[in-house]
Amino acid sequence: MTTLHTPLTPSDIHLLREGEHVLLSGVVYTARDAAHKRLVELLDAGRPLPFPLEGSALFYAGPCPAPPERVIGSVGPTTSGRMDLYSPRLMREAFHIMIGKGPRSPEVVAAIRQYGCAYLSAIGGAAALTARRVERAEPVAFEELGTEAIFSLTVKDLPLIVTNR
């Protein structure tokens, strides 16, 4: 099976086929509705983002709190369509991949082609299993948003399906 490791380059994406199963390792950044709104506000204000977007993987996810002696609680993808409004702006800014569940809008699919990015699907609802693939979790920005804050997750062999590229 194809394996991917962050940080990614456009050539990593170039070889992927839609429908292909891949395993992703490295750092992914969680960002969902509230974080996306803030990221785009930062860009629009001409201010820097709180993490390096270039070559990164955005994971549309809000984890459960970590129980004692665990790295993270259950974590899995949320519905990607709610991020459609923000994604083209982020893709214009820097090359990256997106991870979520469900289909993207025609505008996002077009932007993915235009900027050479990719959208990969995780299996919705398999969150206890996914938690086992997370080796490290650290807050990065917007901690006041609770589960909607941006966390960096170090993942090992996160199973994904290439959906748009």
Partner 1 sequence: MREITAAQITDAIAQLCVEANTHAGADIVAALEQARAAETEETPRQVLDTLLQNAKIAREDNLPICQDTGMAVVFVELGQEVHITGGALDGAINDGVRRGYREGYLRNSVVRDPVRRDNTNDNTPVVIHYTVVPGDTVTLTVAPKGFGSENMSAVKMLNPSDGLAGLERFVLETVRDAGGNPCPPVVVGVGAGGTFELAALLAKKALLRDVGTVNPDPFWDDVERRLLGAVNSLNIGPGGFGGKTTALAVHISPYATHIAGLPVAVNIGCHVTRHKGVMI
Residue ranges binding partner 1 (CB under 8 A): 21, 34, 61-67, 73-76, 78-79, 81, 101-103, 121, 123-129, 131-132, 145-148, 159, 161
Shortest reach from residue 16's CB to partner 1, in Å:
16
Q: Strand 150-164 vs strand 134-141: parallel, antiparallel, or unpaired?
A: antiparallel
- C-beta closer to partner 1: residue 5 or 21: 21
Report how far apart, in Å, the C-alpha atoms of 6 and of each of 61, 82, 162 are.
Answer: 18, 24, 16
Q: Which residues contact 6 (CB under 8 A, 6 or more apart)?
A: 24, 25, 26, 27, 28, 55, 56, 57
CA distance 68 to 77: 23
Shortest reach from residue 93's CB to partner 1, in Å:
25
Amino acid identity for residue 84 in this structure? D
Shortest reach from residue 160's CB to partner 1, in Å:
11
Q: Is 36 a catalytic residue?
A: yes
- C-beta closer to partner 1: residue 99 or 131: 131
Shortest reach from residue 94's CB to partner 1, in Å:
27
CA-based torsion, 59, 55, 13, 89: positive or negative: positive
- The DSSP element (H or E) to which 157 belongs, if any, is strand 150-164
CA-based torsion, 136, 10, 122, 82: positive or negative: positive
Catalytic residue selected from 5, 14, 36, 96? 36
- What are the residue numbers of the active site? 36
